[in-house]
Amino acid sequence: MDLEKFVSKSAKAGEIYNLNHFRTGWHRPVRRLMGNELVFPPSPKVIEAVKNIADKLNYYPEDALTDVELREKLAEYSGLPGRPDWITCGCGSSEIIDMLYETFLDEGDEIILSNPDYSPYARRTKLYGAVVVEVQPADEDFNYTLESFTGKITPKTKMIMLSRPNNPDGHQVPKSLVRGLLETGLIIVVDEAYVEFGEDSCEDMLDEYENLIISHTFSKAMGLAGIRLGWIVARPEIINYVNAIRTPLNVGLVTHVAAIAAIEDADYIRANAARIKADREYFFNEIKKIPGMRPIPSQANFVMVDCLESGLKASEITNHLLERGYLIRCFVNARGLPGDRYYRVTIGTHEDVVNVLNEIKAYAQAHAGVTA
């Protein structure tokens, strides 16, 4: 059978995302500091809500379109009380990306992406035949200028997407830059997956700009990566188009009750975010004391480090930490991160932070002056 002649262009263009680090995280006795998850357990109210729904899992959930209760909670959390029609949901940020691409991108359309940024942005465009136009940072701390984006716009450009704060580097572009992008009249998607750890949100711009879409997730500050829930905030006209292509019943029953319980215990979310921010600053200030380690300023729940000047390789540091029971993320020739110089540490407990710092310091001292 000549299977290939039956396979769609999308499947041929697609590529499998390497998620082996989650396999390692589940099956080795390690501290999970690789996926920007919250290491603290869910709120007790979330755990209780999940237990209470367990005997009803034989039933379908309500669809996101009619689930006004969930969307009202999400609108309130997003600073838009009373506007559930400005919200729709997806199975994590991953489905949100596909939903937005399917809504707006046709074959040959251009999408402008910063480089680096969350890698599925670029990967998933291939399924829709769109063309990625990359914007490079202006300096080694991954800052960007408005002109670096607007200079890439052509008649084929339809969308600009960026994470704020950025994943993987942690930088947060200023709101003035976002405003400048919105003035272009293109569809502007701001992924605020890490906004609770940052300085501010762009949601106060939604009333002013009808071309703004903001994406959120329960996987970071909410501490609920396992329920796979993301949501977007935008004008109802945009939400209606997105709902037209959204898979029905894409939010499970456990996800529904866990999400509502989490939002109703927002103090728990804020307290955990404050702990992470404090330890992020501690890690940043301490790691830069180690010769050759240059942390990138971060507004997220992680810090990416450039170890080029240490003479060590990021992969070597990552492997050492894994042997010591700490799983972090290594970027070897990743998109926008050339070479073997960048690694990223998710901020866990204070004990995690101290131990990882000590391990990196000891490894750097033991290998001082040694290069491959």
Q: Looking at residues 329-353, what average pLDDT do you find?
A: 97
Check if the beta carbon of residue 323 is closer than 8 Å to that of residue 338.
no
In a domain, 191, yes or no: yes
CA distance 182 to 226: 33
Question: For residue 323, which of 24, 17, 12 has the smallest C-alpha distance?
Answer: 24
User: What would the pLDDT profile of 91-149 be if each residue is shown by its tens digit?
Assistant: 999 999 999 999 999 999 999 999 999 999 999 999 999 999 999 999 999 999 999 99
In a domain, 136, yes or no: yes
User: What would the pLDDT profile of 181-222 be if each residue is shown by its tens digit?
Assistant: 999 999 999 999 999 999 899 999 999 999 999 999 999 999
* Cβ contacts of 56-61, under 8 Å, gap ≥ 24: 56/253, 57/253, 57/254, 59/253, 60/249, 60/253, 61/249, 61/251, 61/252, 61/253, 61/255, 61/256
With a cut of 70, say whether residue 372 has pLDDT above it.
no
Q: Is the same domain home to 247 and 304?
A: no
Last residue of a domain, one of 220, 250, 266: 266
User: From the CB of residue 66, how many other CB atoms can be counted at a distance below 10 Å?
Assistant: 9
Q: What's 304's domain CATH number?
A: 3.90.1150.10
Beta-bridge partner residues of 187: 159
Q: Tell me the average pLDDT of the chain.
A: 97
CA distance 16 to 2: 22
Name the packing angle between helices 314-323 and 350-366 (round to 10°): 120
CA distance 370 to 366: 9
Q: Is the same domain home to 66 and 96?
A: yes
> What does the pLDDT read at residue 126?
94
Give me the residue label for tokens 């691409």: 101
Last residue of a domain, one of 213, 241, 266: 266
> What does the pLDDT read at residue 46?
98
Degrees, nearest 5: CA angle 239-241-242: 65
Count of H-run helices and E-run strands, the chain: 13, 13
With a cut of 50, say whether residue 227 has pLDDT above it.
yes
**3-state secondary structure at position 159:** strand
With a cut of 50, say whether residue 280 has pLDDT above it.
yes
In a domain, 355, yes or no: yes
Q: Is the same domain home to 302 and 198?
A: no
Q: Is the same domain home to 287 and 310?
A: yes
Q: Which amino acid is at 357?
A: L
In a domain, 370, yes or no: no
Q: Is the same domain home to 288 and 329?
A: yes
Degrees, nearest 5: CA angle 87-35-295: 110
- Give the DSSP H or E segment for 153: none
Banded model confidence at residue 371, pLDDT cuts 50, 70, 90: very low
With a cut of 90, say whether residue 368 has pLDDT above it.
no
Question: For residue 175, which of 149, 201, 145 has the smallest C-alpha distance?
Answer: 201
Last residue of a domain, one of 207, 232, 266: 266
* DSSP notation for 83-107: -GGGEEEESHHHHHHHHHHHHH--T
Q: What's 214's domain CATH number?
A: 3.40.640.10
User: What would the pLDDT profile of 75-94 be if each residue is shown by its tens digit?
Assistant: 999 999 999 999 999 999 99
Q: Is the same domain home to 64 and 188?
A: yes
| Strand ranges, E, within 124-220 | 131-135, 157-163, 187-191, 212-217
User: What would the pLDDT profile of 41-53 be if each residue is shown by its tens digit?
Assistant: 999 999 999 999 9
> What does the pLDDT read at residue 369?
62
Q: Is the same domain home to 12 and 60?
A: no
Where in the sequence is the domain holding 144, given as residue range(s)?
44-266
Q: Is the same domain home to 32 and 51?
A: no
Q: Is the same domain home to 236 and 340?
A: no
In a domain, 11, yes or no: yes
User: What is the number of structural domains in the chain?
Assistant: 2
Burial label, 23 (beta-carbon count in 10 A; 0-12, 13-18, 19+) = exposed
Write the Ramachandran bin of 219: left for phi over 0, alpha for psi from -120 to 50, otherwise beta.
alpha
* Cβ contacts of 362-371, under 8 Å, gap ≥ 24: 363/312, 363/316, 363/317, 363/320, 364/290, 364/291, 364/292, 364/293, 364/310, 364/312, 367/311, 367/312, 367/316, 368/291, 369/311, 370/311, 371/311
In a domain, 372, yes or no: no
Q: Is the same domain home to 244 and 280?
A: no
Q: Is the same domain home to 288 and 178?
A: no
Q: Is the same domain home to 176 and 233?
A: yes
% residues pLDDT > 70 (the chain): 99
In a domain, 371, yes or no: no
